[in-house]
Structures are given as structure tokens and as C-alpha cells.
Amino acid sequence: MKINAKFDSGAIIVNEIVENADKQLAKLNIAYDAPHAGKPYLQWFHFRAYELDTAKNCLFHIENAGSTTYPEGWINYNVCASYDRKNWFRIKSTYDKNDGLKWEIQPKFSSIFFAYYPPYSQETYLDFISECQMTPSNRCRLDALPGETLDGNTLDVLLVGNPPPLSLNSSNDNNNKKKLKFWVIARQHPGETQASWWMEGFIRRLLDSSDAIANVLLSNIDFYIVPNMNPDGSQRGYLRVNAAGKNLNREWDKSTEDKSPEVFYCQKAIKQTGIDFLLDVHSEEELEYVFLSKTPLGIPSITDKQVELYHKYCSALMQSNPEFQTEFGYKMPEQGKSNLGVCCAWAAETYGCLAMTQEQPFKDNCIFPEPNQEWSIARCEKLGASVLDAMYSVMDDLKVYRGKM
């Protein structure tokens, strides 16, 4: 057996490989995110095991799982595996805080990939956004935020609904002013790859000219979609930070070009376009639910209208997709005490808009458990698609109360 992680989003430390007569054993450690800067995070893994003996069982042991950032995330967790990097399945795993995370398989083939969650590679990402811009009827333009990441990556933006390019000053465009401005972003935390699969479901439905809800939305809304806010962290195999070791979803009240350019340039673009609605897509390591964070409800300037529309959106999403629920999730923050470094809180406080954070699990959704697939790529995509119905439910209210919330 050999182990390798020298590829896009790969991350693992090999402690020892033991070859026995009846079994192959890999003793591993999860690697730190950007240990050179700030608080290091420890959770994401993605690696390939190869030169496997298909006649033997292979045991994989992540020895430091009990010391990771979210150790309770391993409870009820089963590892993701794939032979072809396209079709992913779960392998029963066991966790003990003193003995780490273990799983065992007799492989069908001599090479197999494992990951914390099915990865979303840079190649897959580039293929998808390139496909989007080729949508018939010019529904989508591929643009970019006004700057690059620390690793020199482009911060791509999909403009849907025919807004002008970000490089143009649209402040005098009266037709453009009439339309609502919706911003949807994902992958601030790069290891939360569910957000990219969610984006595929959301964007594909939004670009479907046969979908009546999508057509109505695009007649009234300009969408600014950032499918990957943290391409550096995504490629480096980090869970929560960028190349400078910054947790982007704590930088919105203090962003800088040299430490958190991803947030800095996104804020610059939002200031240019204006904003009526923001959705930031994430994943949750420990909780086995689909939910919205209540963070924006605790901002200092919260209004009754923001609260009303938040709950209206939640009700519509529950009707559209029963995977979503409101009973379980993060605690309600104290009034006026929300962290304005968090994207949704910053947007709601700064612009008085409706802003939310979507969370989905790494494990299964215990409301509707699916033991054979758990929280899968397909379920991420369906959740993303169902959000259009919730957006439709608040669209008219946002038009009426624009700038008055």
C-alpha cells in the first residue's frame, strides 16, 4: 500500500504503513490548515491509496481525529470513498476520542480515493462556470471581482439576469436600478465542498429557461453569484482558511487586500451594485441537520421587517424542501451581539438587507436519514435548486420594502 495527496485539495500525513499477511494498515494524521498563520484548523482530509492488494482487507486509522477542531464531527460520521472520483459512497467508520477514526475495506480495485466529503476540484469548477456562460439566451455572463487572491486565483462571478459587467459603473442605469440585487456566495470555508454541489443545483435551475419560477426571478432580480470565495484554500486542501490563514467568514468587519482580499474585493463589488438579499452557503461539521444560521437576527440594527422576511423565507423553504427545518441549529445570538465579522451579519447591518447563512451536514440529515447515501451530492444539488422557491416567496416584499428595512 502507498498513500499520496499531491493533488488538488489533497491533504493527509502518513505516519506508518504496515503490511501483514492478511491485512494492510495505514496509520495517518490529518494535517493543519496554514499552520504558519493564526489559529490552525484540523479536519479536512483527501488522499489516494494505491498499490493495494485486493485479496486483503485494508485498515485506515486517523490517529489524531480526537484532537481535531471538531472532534464531535466524527460521531456518526462515515468516510467518503471513490474508485473513479465521480461516484462516491460511504464506508462504515468507527470513532473513539482516544483512538481516533478507523475504517476498513477490502478494495475492489488497486486504487481508491478517500475524503472528508466528496471534493469539488478546480477542473470541475472551471468546467462548470464555463458551461454556465454558454447558456442559450445570454442568461449568464462570466465576470470577476476586481482583484485576485494571494495565490493569484481569479475570483469569478456569474452575472445572471443581465446586469452590466462589474467593470462598468452602473449607477446611472435606471433600468438596472429597478431590479433587485441578490448576492449568493459559497466556499468561504473551502473544506465545505457541499456548498459547491449546492451551487450546481441552484445555478442549473436558475438558468433553466423552461422553469417558470426561474423566469420570474430573472425578470425582477439581478443575481451576482460567487461560486467559490476561497479558491486558494480549496486547492491547498484547507478546511476553513485562505492562503494567509484567515477565516474569511470572520473578516467582513476588517477585511484587507493583503490578508483577506477575497472579502475585500467582494465588499467593493457589493458597494458598487447595491444589495437587497444575500445568501452565504456553508456546511456544518457536527450537527446532522439542514438549517439557517440565526446570526443576522442578532445585529444591532435589526428591524421587524428583516425578522418577518427571514421567517417567511424559512417557511417557504420548508414547503419546497422538507430536508430543511427550523427547530435545530445554532443558538439565537443575544440582541445586538452578533459578530459583524460574519458575512450575513455584516450585510444585514451595513445595508439593511435580508441576509442568511445556509448550513448542511457532513454526515446525514437525521430528520430524513438515508443510510445508503447519507448527505450526498444529489441532496446538496436538490437543496440548492429548492432555494429558488423561497427566493420567489420574498421577492415582492423586498421590492416593496426596498431600502426601508
The catalytic position among 359, 370, 374, 381 is: 359
Task: Name the phi and psi angles at 128, rounded to 5.
Answer: -70, -50
Give, in degrees to the nearest 5, the angle at Cα 97 between 93 and 98. 110
Q: Name residues of the chain where pLDDT drops below 70.
A: 37-38, 169-176, 403-405
Question: How is domain 2-115 classified at the CATH fold level?
Answer: Immunoglobulin-like (2.60.40)
| Single-letter residue type at 75 | I
Question: How far are the Cα atoms of 242, 281, 302, 387 from residue 247, in angstroms, in the given order?
Answer: 7, 15, 25, 26
Task: Name the phi and psi angles at 394, rounded to 5.
Answer: -105, -5
Looking at residue 404, its pLDDT comes to: 64
- Compute the half-sphere exposure of residue 266: CA atoms within 13 Å on the CB side of its CA: 35
Active site residue 131: no
Q: Are strands 23-29 and 57-62 parallel, antiparallel or unpaired?
A: parallel
The residue extents of the domains of the chain are 2-115, 122-400
Report how far residue 123's alpha carbon sits from residue 204's, in angstroms, rounded to the nearest whole number: 18
Strand, helix or coil for residue 75:
coil
Residue 42: burial class (beta carbons within 10 Å; 0-12, 13-18, 19+): buried
4, 38 contact by CB (below 8 A): no
> What sign for the dihedral angle of Cα 62, 65, 69, 74?
positive
Task: Name the phi and psi angles at 292, rounded to 5.
Answer: -110, 140
Task: Name the phi and psi angles at 359, rounded to 5.
Answer: -120, 145
Report how far residue 399's alpha carbon sits from residue 220's, in angstroms, rounded to the nearest whole number: 9
pLDDT digits (tens, 9 = 90+) for 344-386: 999 999 999 999 999 999 999 999 999 989 999 999 999 999 9
Looking at residue 170, its pLDDT comes to: 55
Q: Are strands 354-359 and 277-281 parallel, antiparallel or unpaired?
A: parallel
- CATH top-level class of 122-400: alpha beta
Report how far residue 104's alpha carbon sits from residue 92's, in angstroms, rounded to the nearest whole number: 8
Q: To which residue does cell 494535517 refer?
A: 31
Whole-prediction pTM: 0.96
Looking at residue 35, its pLDDT comes to: 78
Q: To which residue does cell 488497486 refer?
A: 110
Residue 212: burial class (beta carbons within 10 Å; 0-12, 13-18, 19+): exposed
Report how far residue 144's alpha carbon sits from residue 128's, in angstroms, rounded to the nearest whole number: 15
What is the biggest distance separating any 2 CA atoms in the chain, rounded to whole angstroms?
A: 75
